[in-house]
Chains A and B, each alone.
Chain A
Amino acid sequence: MADDSGEPGWYEGVDPDDAGRVRTQIEEGTTDEPRDWPGLAVESGFTADEDDYYDRLHEATTAATREAAREAGRADDQQLKHSIRAMDDADRLANELAERAVEWGESLFDGVPGGLDGARALADRDPATPAAERAVSLAAEATRLAAEATALRAHVERTAPAVAPNLAEMAGPVLAARLIALAGGLEPLAKKPSGTVQVLGAEDALFAHLDGRAPSPKHGVIFAHEAVRGTRPEDRGSAARALAGKLAIAARVDHYSGERRPSVHEDLRERLATIRARADDEGAGGGG
């Protein structure tokens, strides 16, 4: 028995000859529960029989997916660059605004905790004066911005593996996106030597150092990777070099082939195990 209660399939309300519309439906449609689409399509009169349905589905999916893959391959590293930069900006601004709002709020209310938690608490207060009204409103703004940063992070985590599967698997999606953004895209990253990959992102620290605000930088953003941070300080240089080397390879595989290559990840794992075994060897020798 056909029922009209469920969500629609891809073919619903579509003129099969309207290729653009078919593609939009395939790509952007969503439904929680799958249904017997071939059966329902025949019942609804979309196609004469099941064979005809599958013929149309084949035509629709190959055309839509070919087009979608072409488009995604073109633009995605640039989209990722915008996403990660927006995420960092939203994070930074949310924290700055929260700090400002909390500092203000502390002069008006009792018991305001620090940071974004403070801003969230403050945003729920009842302002009694025009000044308090502004402080509370500013705290609410900081809270909204923090939520946007979280949404942007989720977006990066979803899209980075599509743009650079190996790099995202090795570095994690956020660090992968950061490397791509710092290099200006996947192709420029794929063309950088591993020594450059190792210090990408150290530019800010370098300028801070030149301004006299920080010590000289020794590593770039890859320092955020567990392979580096989780290695004892005297072996971090080796770990950073090993990681940078494999990340450079991962970026090249992603740019030139786009397929996952398990061997790169296994090579890195083995190399890191060797580096970390040094600490175990010395520990076992009683060297401390």
Chain B
Amino acid sequence: MTDLPDGVAYRRFDGERRLATRGPPVYGEPTASDWRLWDAGRSKLGATLAAGLDTGLTGGDRVLYLGAASGTTVSHVADFAGPTYAVEFAPRPVRDLVDVAAERPRLFPLLADARRPETYAHVVESGLDAVVQDVATRGQAEVALRNRRFLAPDGRLVLAVKARSEDVTAAPEDAFDEVLARLRDGYEVLATERLAPRHDAHLAVVARPD
């Protein structure tokens, strides 16, 4: 069993061992003393950690999170990480994301398109420890390649690839192979893991700049 990042731990909720982080509750999730449940069924990064994948994430990391949506997962990241930049393109979820960020002094929300890093590179710092990516658009490898510029040479890309965003009709395996092949233009892939049954047709990928 791989070590979880500092600040992420298994705690008992209703008698069950579940992932948890410490921070202000966000979406009515169960809490146990100062820990709050991180539901791996609702979070691809949570599922990646629960699957035991070595993400290379550690407590206090500087993180860029792409595809933050309304901030559910990124709130847990901000709980254990250091400065965390959260990029989301859809205005409506961003309103919730801003509320999540308001209670977390080192979470920085940005309304921007992850396919256009030049629109936030004047805010997001270089040399980050990790880029976490969960964007449901076609060209997920391309997004990862374009955002490689933010990573330190030994930084980590932790990616959740959604097969159906690439091609709804292709077999997931084919879509994954295509994404991984493109990803290798700029990354060394360190580990992959299917996230089924929690997240059907999703592949978790850990990679570092090549």
Contacts beyond the supplied A30-B119, A33-B121, A165-B90: 7 A-B pairs with Cβ under 8 Å:
A32-B121, A58-B107, A68-B111, A73-B91, A162-B90, A169-B137, A260-B90
Is A66 engaged at the interface, CB distance under 8 Å to the other chain? yes
Does B98 touch A at the CB level, under 8 Å? yes
Which residues of chain B have C-beta atoms less than 8 A from A82's C-beta?
A: none
A61 part of interface (Cβ distance < 8 Å): yes
Stretch among A3-11, A134-142, A205-213 lining the B interface: A3-11
Contact call A34/B91, Cβ cutoff below 8 A: no
Pair B93/A258 contact, Cβ less than 8 Å: yes
Kindly provide the distance from the CB of B128 to the nearest chain A CB, expressed in whole angstroms.
8
**What count of chain A residues pass the 8 Å CB interface test?**
46
Q: Is B127 in the interface zone, CB < 8 Å from A?
A: yes
A–B complex contacts, Cβ < 8 Å, 28 sampled: A9-B123, A30-B119, A33-B121, A34-B122, A34-B125, A34-B150, A54-B106, A58-B105, A62-B98, A62-B101, A62-B102, A65-B97, A65-B111, A69-B91, A69-B94, A72-B111, A73-B95, A162-B90, A169-B136, A169-B165, A258-B90, A259-B69, A259-B90, A259-B92, A262-B136, A265-B164, A265-B168, A269-B164
Task: List residues 247-270 of chain A with CB under 8 A from any CB of chain B.
Answer: 257-260, 262, 265-266, 268-269
Interface bits B110-142 vs A (CB < 8 Å: 1, else 0):
110100011101111111000000001100000
Q: Indicate whether A37 sits within 8 Å of B125 (C-beta atoms), given known contacts A54-B106, A61-B101, A269-B168.
A: yes
Task: Tell me the smallest distance from the CB of A13 to a CB of chain B, in Å.
Answer: 12
CB neighbours (8 Å) of B118 from chain A are 30-32
Distance in Å from the Cβ of B112 to the closest Cβ of chain A? 9
Is B162 interfacial (CB-CB < 8 Å)? yes
Give chain B interface residues in 46-90, CB to chain A under 8 Å: 69-70, 83, 89-90
B91 touches A72 (CB 8 A): yes
A154-B74 Cα distance, complex, nearest whole Å = 30
Interface of B with A (CB < 8 Å)? 69-70, 83, 89-95, 97-98, 101-102, 105-111, 113, 117-119, 121-127, 136-137, 149-150, 162, 164-165, 168-169, 200
Q: B165 to A258, Cβ gap below 8 A?
A: no
CB of B98 within 8 A of CB of A260, answer no
Q: Is A34 touching B121 in the complex (CB atoms < 8 A)?
A: yes
A9 contacts across to B, CB distance below 8 A? 122-123
Question: How many angstroms from the CA of A9 to the CA of B93 in the assembled complex?
Answer: 26
In the complex, how many angstroms separate the beta carbon of A174 from the nearest chain B beta carbon?
14
CA distance A161 to B37 in the complex (A): 31
Residue of A nearest to B168 (CB): A269
A residues neighboring B (CB under 8 Å): 7-10, 25-27, 29-38, 54-55, 57-58, 61-62, 65-66, 68-70, 72-73, 76, 158, 161-162, 165, 169, 257-260, 262, 265-266, 268-269, 273
* Given A69-B98, A169-B136, A260-B90, also A35-B164 (CB < 8 A): no
Docked complex Cα distance between A58 and B106 (Å): 7
Cα distance A34–B110 when bound, in Å?
15
Given contacts A32-B121, A265-B168, contact A73 B136 (CB under 8 A): no
A36-B162 in contact (CB<8A): no
- Chain A nearest CB from B118 CB (Å) reads 5
Bound complex: CA A240 to CA B122 (Å): 45
Contacts of A260 in B (CB 8 A): 69, 90, 136
Q: How far is the CB of A98 from chain B (nearest CB, A)?
A: 31
Q: Which residues of B contact A26 (CB under 8 A)?
A: 110, 123
B95 engages A54 (CB within 8 Å): no
CA distance A38 to B122 in the complex (A): 11
For A70, list chain B residues within 8 Å (CB): 91, 95
A29 contacts across to B, CB distance below 8 A:
122-123
**A36 pairs with B111, CB closer than 8 A:** no
Cβ contact within 8 Å between B92 and A58? no
Would you call A33 and B149 a contact (CB within 8 A)? yes
Whether A7 and B122, one on each chain, are in contact in the complex, defined by CB atoms closer than 8 angstroms, is: yes
Whether B137 pairs with A161 at a CB distance below 8 angstroms is: yes
Please report the C-alpha to C-alpha distance between residue A257 and residue B93 in the assembled complex, in whole angstroms.
8
Partner of B98, one of A35, A65, A158: A65
A7 to B195, CA, bound (A): 40
Residues of B within 8 A of A7 (CB): 122
Residues of B within 8 A of A55 (CB): 105
Distance to closest chain B CB from A185 (angstroms): 15
Assess whether B109 is in contact with A258, with CB atoms less than 8 Å apart. Answer: no
- CA–CA, A58 to B125, complex, Å? 13
Give CA–CA (A32, B83) in the complex, Å: 21
Give complex CA distance A104, B104 in Å. 67
- In the complex, the answer to whether B108 meets A34 with C-beta atoms within 8 Å is no
